[in-house]
Amino acid sequence: MAILAAMSSLLPSCVKSEAMTVTSPDGRIAVDFKIAPDGGIYYAVSRDGEVLVDSSRLGLRCRETEIGRAAKVRSVRHSTFDETWQPVWGEESSIRNHYNEMRVDLREDDDCGTLYSLVFRVFDDGVGFRYEIPQQDAIDSLTIMDELTEFALAEDGVAWSIPWDHEYYEHLYEPSLISRLDTVCSPLTIKLTDSCYMAIHEAALTDYAAMNLRVADGTRLTSYLTPWSSGEKVFTACPFCSPWRTMIVAVNPGDLILSRLMLNLNEPCALAETDWIQPQRYIGIWWAMHRKTHTWASGPQHGATTENTKRYIDFAAAHGYGGVLVEGWNEGWDGDWSAEGDKFSFTKSYPDFDIEEITRYAAEKGVRLIGHHETGGAATNYENQMDSAFALCHRLGINSVKTGYVNMLLDGKELHSSQYGVRHYRKVIETAARNHVMIDNHEPVMPTGLQRTYPNLMTQEGVRGCEYDAWSPDGGNPPEHTVTIPFTRCLAGPVDYTPGIFNYDNPVPPYTRPQCTIAKQLALALVLYSPLQMSADMIENYENRPELEFLTRCPTNWEKTVVPEARIGEFLTIARKDIDSDDWYIGSITNANAHQVKLNLDFLDPDTEYVAKVFADGNGADYRTNPYPVEISEKPVTAGGTLALNLAQGGGAAVIISKK
């Protein structure tokens, strides 16, 4: 990798001017900003003097003007920020937000004379920057036709990606050379060198289009914003701030998982009261529909009946689950619902689903009904009913709702990741918050950390989840998928993958089922973080299964998270400490290869005796031939010791460590 000699080596040869530089608090990461003699604006990123991102163009091409073509510096201001904040829920109970900022105020030297700023924040774990356009006389609104932000990567490293326009990000991540990438969405995870991993993404996408990436030339990526159907990318009024463009920079892949840069770049919590926001595990009338033994639609196989729901409520109460999701409870499922989403009612239940009686019964048992608002992509139909729908939830004590948008277009016209979609999803979150409802959003725009501001945005799909293990024609999610998404999709925030299938019976070719052992399913409940998480199987498949104990005990809110070992697409071990007790929980997973873990337990309290309860792949376990055996054992452990875990092919291990 090239050594950063002088900033001039980073820029096209025509560029000669003083670098404006800001470094991370530990001094290792540097961002240089420059204006070329022709007025173009550029940045570059280095670590310990090595170039990671070479001179890269910045700018916004608007219908009214172009920003970053004839720039003049007005002022450069430096500042430092250091604060520790407490999320309402999460993978740790407190997060340090420590960065050095450089704000470069600029003026475009053209007829419009647009005033704008580039704001760079450099953290020890990476970089964020954004465009800011203040209120000004010359211009009151902008139509952004293209964002010109580039990421000129210094090496042709390996990138794990999915196409930008595949159905709701439900795709398998593929590794490829950066130079071979098609148009992909972010997060884009990159192994630049053996000691440099990066993830390019964005933070605080609130009223803009999602940023996708495509190769401009060689290893130079350029942003491609999801367009409106009319071709424009973003309509905005001044003052205006773009989302943050983010780059996590890490020595090893485990540190990508531990970075909180995206959350730090979102605005603090906007809600005055948050006591009603409660992370939890739940069960649902769900898998039976995906396995086609029940239907969403009315009729003899209707899953959402009062009787069936009460059975699930009883099971939840008996096993400590906080809620029961019921899909197919409302009018609109009879017919081609994904094409006719405007037939959905979000207040009228089917006659065999007595919502008043069900919510009364649930309250008596200390369980909540979890609402379901599938829109079939008909966003306007949903917006028209949203206030009354969430008011109904509030009245009935339904404090979380799963939303869904199964249609390639919203309102038959706009992409989910367009500004249109982004605005809709934010409206849902805000309306839900006013009614004290938590949201689990399926078919979303890729998350960008908005849960810091709206902690009722609990979790989102945007992943090829466990539903593919019910019906995917390729037989189910391959074993490497779940060892890849923690380093890709999950960097964008909590994921509603819904592991926990215990019964793999499927007599119908191609015999689609989870392509992993049961012990790995347990581990996934810990590894794939989600503050609301469904144990996805039908309750009859959980009866008399001692390994259910791990799912019912595993918390969804943590004091601390560590990543003892990690290799993208191969294996991963995560340990998390419960926020409400001294217990630690560990999940370890592997791809199709068996894997042996010798886990150093140095994260435990010293001089303390613990007991580890291990849910491991049992004798002869193998994801293809024998996925079921789980061996449950207990052994004493201490901070100085190690724990050996033998993961079968496609296997895993889940562990609970408690003080003696």
User: Residue 490 CA to chain centroid, in angstroms?
Assistant: 4
Give me the least distance between CB of 338 and ligand NOJ, in Å please. 8
Give me the least distance between CB of 331 and ligand NOJ, in Å please. 14
Write down the residue that tokens 């059975």 correspond to.
Answer: 311
Residue 424's binding partner among ligand NOJ, Ca ion, none (Cβ under 5 to 8 angstroms by kind) is: none
Give me the least distance between CB of 489 and Ca ion, in Å please. 13
Give me the least distance between CB of 466 and ligand NOJ, in Å please. 9
Residue 41 and residue 149: Cα distance in Å, rounded?
10
What residues contact residue 521 under an 8 Å CB cut-off, 6+ apart? 499, 500, 501, 502, 514, 652
Check: CB of residue 114 under 8 Å from CB of residue 133.
yes
Q: Give the footprint of Ca ion on this chain (CB under 5 A).
A: 442
Q: Which of 91, 467, 547, 565 is catalytic?
A: 467
Cβ proximity to ligand NOJ: between 223 and 541 the closer is: 541
- What's the start-to-end Cα distance of the chain, in Å? 51
User: 623 burial class (0-12, 13-18, 19+ CB within 10 angstroms)?
Assistant: buried
* Helix/strand/coil for 492: helix
DSSP string for residues in 124-138:
TTEEEEEEEE---SS
Cβ proximity to ligand NOJ: between 356 and 474 the closer is: 474
Cβ proximity to ligand NOJ: between 500 and 651 the closer is: 500
Residue 374's binding partner among Ca ion, ligand NOJ, none (Cβ under 5 to 8 angstroms by kind) is: ligand NOJ
Of 654, 561, 552, 576, give the one whose Cα is nearest residue 280: 552
Helix (H) or strand (E) holding 23: strand 20-23
Residue 361 and residue 355: Cα distance in Å, rounded?
10
Residue 612 and residue 616: Cα distance in Å, rounded?
12
Give me the least distance between CB of 291 and ligand NOJ, in Å please. 11
Distances in Å between the alpha carbon of 160 and those of 216, 496, 520, 639?
Answer: 18, 20, 22, 35
Give me the least distance between CB of 355 and ligand NOJ, in Å please. 18
Is 64 annotated in the active site? no
Instruction: Tell whether omega for the bond before 37 is within 30 degrees of 0, i.e. cis.
Output: no
DSSP state of 242: P
User: 327 burial class (0-12, 13-18, 19+ CB within 10 angstroms)?
Assistant: buried
Distances in Å between the alpha carbon of 626 and those of 107, 519, 593?
Answer: 66, 12, 14
**Which residues are paired to 609 by β-bridges?**
none
Cβ proximity to ligand NOJ: between 290 and 545 the closer is: 290
DSSP string for residues in 67-85:
ETSSEEEEEEEEEEEEEEE
Check: CB of residue 484 under 8 Å from CB of residue 463.
no
Cβ proximity to Ca ion: between 246 and 498 the closer is: 498
Residue 327's binding partner among Ca ion, ligand NOJ, none (Cβ under 5 to 8 angstroms by kind) is: ligand NOJ
Cβ proximity to ligand NOJ: between 368 and 442 the closer is: 442
DSSP string for residues in 395-447:
HHT--EEEEE--SSSBTTTB-TTSHHHHHHHHHHHHHHHHTT-EEEESS-PPP
Angle, vertex CA 265, rays to CA 573 and CA 143, nearest 5: 125
**Which residues are paired to 349 by β-bridges?**
330
Give me the least distance between CB of 549 and ligand NOJ, in Å please. 26
Cβ proximity to Ca ion: between 442 and 513 the closer is: 442
Of 178, 125, 148, give the one whose Cα is nearest residue 40: 148
Cβ proximity to ligand NOJ: between 289 and 432 the closer is: 289
Give me the least distance between CB of 370 and ligand NOJ, in Å please. 12
Give me the least distance between CB of 438 and Ca ion, in Å please. 19
Helix (H) or strand (E) holding 42: strand 41-47
Residue 241's binding partner among Ca ion, ligand NOJ, none (Cβ under 5 to 8 angstroms by kind) is: none
Residue 246 and residue 244: Cα distance in Å, rounded?
6
Give me the least distance between CB of 189 and Ca ion, in Å please. 22
Cβ proximity to Ca ion: between 66 and 467 the closer is: 467
Residue 252 and residue 615: Cα distance in Å, rounded?
28
Cβ proximity to Ca ion: between 401 and 586 the closer is: 401
Residue 108's binding partner among ligand NOJ, Ca ion, none (Cβ under 5 to 8 angstroms by kind) is: none
Residue 53 and residue 49: Cα distance in Å, rounded?
12
Quick one: how many helices (H) and strands (E) in the chain?
10, 37
Give me the least distance between CB of 468 and ligand NOJ, in Å please. 10
Of 42, 36, 40, 43, give the one whose Cα is nearest residue 70: 40
Q: Give the footprint of ligand NOJ on this chain (CB under 6 A).
A: 286, 327, 374, 404, 406, 442, 461, 467
Cβ proximity to ligand NOJ: between 444 and 650 the closer is: 444
Which residues are annotated as catalytic? Answer: 467
